[in-house]
């Protein structure tokens, strides 16, 4: 059985409390190098590396490739973070409570900030997950917390039902860390 390595980018260069889903921010350079070094030691030969096209993930992928040129890099837009539309770059505390309530009330169908509904993100991650499983080898996704949560949901529930806001997974790898799950 193959394994999916869900690797989260290093700490982004953005103030705490800011919504930065699809916002293309960089990541701490030293933390990125440290994460790449740990990952380079852990990854098996022959793994396929895919990364979100957002620069905080691409930087980690490039740092990994500098240490492990045997691992070809493949940008994968389907594993980018959720698009929060007009909320991007704003403090969460500056977003109207009624807007957040509208999102949580229709958690999968509502497009927060006019961006992307969670149902659309789940669909694209599910398609990428099925394609990864078809490769029949270890796959590494250098990605985001939201994608890791999508994978958790999809592996537990599939697409047969969409989550309510209180059911959404809270756990995700910390910055620069990873978790592994079986690819089925």
**pTM here?**
0.96
What tens digit of pLDDT does each residue of 60-112 get? 999 999 999 999 899 999 999 999 999 999 999 999 999 999 999 999 999 99
- Grade residue 184 by pLDDT with cuts at 50, 70 and 90: confident
In this prediction, residues 146-172 reach a mean pLDDT of: 96
Please tell me the predicted confidence (pLDDT) of residue 1.
84
What tens digit of pLDDT does each residue of 98-139 get? 999 999 999 999 999 999 999 999 999 999 999 999 999 999
For the chain, give the DSSP string: -EEEEEEEPPPBSS-TTB--SS----B-HHHHHHHHHHHHHHSPTTPEEEE-SSHHHHHHHHHHHHH-TTS-EEE-GGGSPP--GGGTTSBGGGS-HHHHHHHHHTTTT--GGGS--HHHHHHHHHHHHHHHHHT-S-EEEEE-HHHHHHHHHHHHHTTSSPPPGGGS----PPTT-EEEEEE-
């Amino acid at each position: 059985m193959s394994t999916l390595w869900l690797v989260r980018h290093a700490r982004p260069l953005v103030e705490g409390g800011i919504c930065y889903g699809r916002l293309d921010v960089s990541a701490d350079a030293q933390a990125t190098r440290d994460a790449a070094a740990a990952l380079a030691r852990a990854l098996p030969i022959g793994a396929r590396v895919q990364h979100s096209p957002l620069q905080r993930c691409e930087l980690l992928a490039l740092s990994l490739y500098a240490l492990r040129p045997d691992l070809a890099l493949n940008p994968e837009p389907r594993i980018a973070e959720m698009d929060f539309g007009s909320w991007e770059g704003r403090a969460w505390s500056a977003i109207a409570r009624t807007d957040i309530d509208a999102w949580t009330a229709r958690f999968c169908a509502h497009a927060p900030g006019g961006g992307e509904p969670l149902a659309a993100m789940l669909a694209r991650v599910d398609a990428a997950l099925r394609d990864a499983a078809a490769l029949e080898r270890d796959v590494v996704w250098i990605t985001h917390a939201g994608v890791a949560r999508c994978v958790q949901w999809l592996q537990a529930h599939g697409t047969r039902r969409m989550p309510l806001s209180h059911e959404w997974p809270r756990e995700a790898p910390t910055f620069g860390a990873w978790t592994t799950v079986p690819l089925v």
